[in-house]
Amino acid sequence: IIHQLHSSSYQTEVFDEEDETNRVTLSCSYETSSEDIDLYWYRQYPNSEPQYILWKGARSRDGESDIPDPHFESSTTRTSTELIIKAATLKDSALYYCALWKDPVIQSF
């Protein structure tokens, strides 16, 4: 499993495909002054387009989420998010991306 963010990549090994307790955690750090944040995770298999995995709110949006596949979990802090892959197997070998969305700032004049 390879996790990539801002041209940095980290590799996490999946140990035993037969061991259903394999949990893989990918971490992603971020900096923003916004309080309205959604953090997204995607995965991409070779020669395929990125696939949506989940989103989870952070800061003022803590507690909001969309995690359609129970194979995945996520946690967030004020400066990072984690993707947890439960019972990881070789099928989970892919490139993983995290993305941050924040509410646009609207200024009145």
* 8 bridge partner residues: 5
Q: Would you say 2 and 10 are in contact if contact means Cβ atoms under 8 Å apart?
A: yes
Please state the pTM of the whole predicted model.
0.78
Q: How far apart are CA 55 and CA 42, in angstroms?
A: 9
* 109 residues of the chain, pLDDT tens digit each: 444 444 333 444 444 555 667 899 999 999 988 999 999 999 999 999 999 999 999 999 999 999 999 999 999 999 999 999 999 999 999 999 999 998 776 667 7
Domains of the chain: 31-89+96-102 (2.60.40.10)
CB proximity list for 45: less than 8 A, separation 6 or greater: 51, 94, 95
Q: Determine the pLDDT at residue 20.
A: 60
